């Protein structure tokens, strides 16, 4: 936004300088063989070319801004992906730790089962090798029936205990193995998720790098466009001077021709001495006779001269007056004249300049529609365009400027609401 404002201000300044250059005292020899309409045509083409260059520059700026926003989104996306990968890595680390502990627990459980099984086999082997006589002797050696029953119960419980322990240990081992399977499945899932995020990160990084390259290309093209526009502005300023010089020369020639005719008419007048003073050539008034360009709309929102800029708040020189009016309101030519230009600029928007002769111009900026063309003759009151808010503008209004001998002057010296 700041860059576009700078371009608009620069363009506006160049136009002001260019119009200032329109005051020429002498006429270069080569212009004697040139035609103002031909040179005006060249100027129109140059203005059109610069308008197109400004349009392309604005488009480049817009594309650059879009690319910058996209890069911001990619940076955010990359950050989110990296955070997700970090979380997955932490989860994966915890699962691997659990798997390790579970494997150690499973290994110990297998050892316990093997130990219990070995003990049971030894007891079975002992009873087998010594036969049942030892058990019978142990039972017969009982002190009484109560002792006998206790020993019988002991032998029975010993056998049942081994079975219960083995069964319990086997169930514990099965539970540990099931936990191991669950943990391995979780590990596989986390690894797959991490690989997916790693791929997304790689793709995003590649896209980000491509967009950064694209941004650099926009910077280069914008720099080139700025250089071209600067050169065009210089050429336009020079061409405006040429066109104005030719028109002044043509006007002087026409005035001289009219003067000669008037003198001849005076010489051929009746001998009663009543002579009309026609030797004075009519010219466009520069102090009166102009009409208000927006009949019915008289509110001036920004005066001529130093002011506080309504867009950026800086103190700046305002080379005209701003007249508030609804969009689409007809704009009238303030006086007779010739359309010097009708083009579009970043700062001025759609704007028209009318040359009234004797170094005097009226300028109309920010139109929504221009209804005239360069070289066209207009009369006071003709509709030349419609009120709008194109260019550097904060709302629908007409910016009216008056230029006299290369310098901006107060419009209210020529028009009145």
Q: Sketch the domain layout of the chain as residue ranges.
A: 34-244, 289-417
Quote the pLDDT of residue 88.
Answer: 87
CATH class of the structural domain 34-244: mainly alpha
Closest Cα partner for 54 from 302, 288, 323, 346?
A: 346
Helix (H) or strand (E) holding 150, with range, is: helix 145-267
**The pLDDT value given to residue 123:** 65
| pLDDT averaged per 10 residues, the chain (length 417) | 51 49 38 64 85 87 91 88 88 88 83 74 60 54 56 60 72 84 88 88 89 92 90 84 76 72 62 38 50 96 84 80 94 95 88 92 94 94 94 92 88 94
CATH code given to domain 289-417: 2.70.70.10
pTM beyond cutoff 0.85:
no
Task: Tell me the per-residue pLDDT of 87-101, one tens digit each, with 9 for 90 and over.
Answer: 988 988 998 898 889
CB 216 within 8 A of CB 327: no
Distance CA 111, CA 154 (A): 27
Token readout for 250 is 């043509």
Query: CA 96 → CA 93, 192, 197, distances in Å?
Result: 5, 15, 19
Summarised one tens digit per residue, pLDDT across range 324-374 is 999 999 999 999 999 999 998 888 899 999 999 888 999 999 999 999 999
């Amino acid at each position: 936004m700041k860059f576009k404002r700078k371009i608009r201000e620069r363009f506006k300044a160049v136009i002001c300088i260019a119009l200032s250059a329109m005051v020429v005292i002498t006429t270069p020899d080569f212009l004697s063989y040139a035609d103002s309409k031909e040179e005006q045509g060249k100027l129109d083409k140059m203005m059109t070319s610069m308008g197109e260059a400004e349009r392309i520059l604005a488009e480049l700026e817009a594309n650059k801004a879009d690319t910058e926003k996209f890069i911001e989104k990619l940076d955010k996306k990359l950050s989110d992906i990296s955070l997700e990968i970090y979380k997955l890595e932490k989860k994966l680390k915890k699962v691997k730790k659990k798997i390790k502990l579970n494997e150690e627990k499973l290994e110990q459980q297998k050892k316990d089962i093997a130990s219990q099984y070995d003990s049971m086999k030894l007891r079975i082997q002992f009873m087998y090798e010594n036969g049942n006589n030892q058990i019978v002797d142990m039972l017969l050696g009982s002190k009484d029936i109560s002792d006998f029953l206790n020993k019988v119960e002991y032998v029975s419980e010993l056998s049942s205990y081994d079975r219960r322990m083995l069964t319990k240990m086997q169930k514990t081992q099965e539970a540990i193995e099931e936990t191991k399977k669950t943990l391995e499945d979780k590990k596989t899932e986390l690894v797959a998720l991490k690989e997916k995020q790693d791929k997304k990160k790689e793709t995003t990084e590649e896209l980000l790098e491509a967009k950064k390259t694209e941004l650099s290309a926009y910077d280069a093209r914008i720099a080139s466009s700025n250089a071209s526009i600067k050169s065009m502005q210089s050429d336009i300023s020079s061409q405006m001077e040429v066109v104005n010089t030719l028109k002044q020369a043509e006007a002087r020639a026409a005035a001289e021709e009219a003067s000669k005719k008037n003198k001849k008419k005076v010489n051929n007048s009746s001998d009663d001495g009543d002579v009309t003073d026609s030797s004075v050539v009519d010219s466009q008034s520069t102090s009166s006779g102009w009409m208000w360009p927006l009949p019915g709309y008289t509110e001036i929102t920004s005066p001529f001269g130093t002011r506080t800029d309504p867009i950026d708040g800086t103190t700046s020189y305002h080379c005209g007056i701003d007249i508030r009016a609804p969009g689409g309101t007809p704009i009238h030519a303030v006086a007779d004249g010739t359309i010097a230009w009708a083009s579009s600029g970043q700062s001025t928007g759609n704007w028209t300049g009318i040359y009234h002769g004797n170094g005097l111009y009226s300028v109309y900026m920010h139109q929504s529609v221009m209804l005239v063309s360069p070289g066209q003759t207009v009369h006071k009151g003709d509709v030349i365009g419609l009120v709008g808010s194109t260019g550097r503008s904060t709302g629908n209004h007409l910016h009216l400027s008056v230029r006299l001998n290369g310098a901006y002057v107060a419009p209210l010296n020529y028009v009145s609401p």
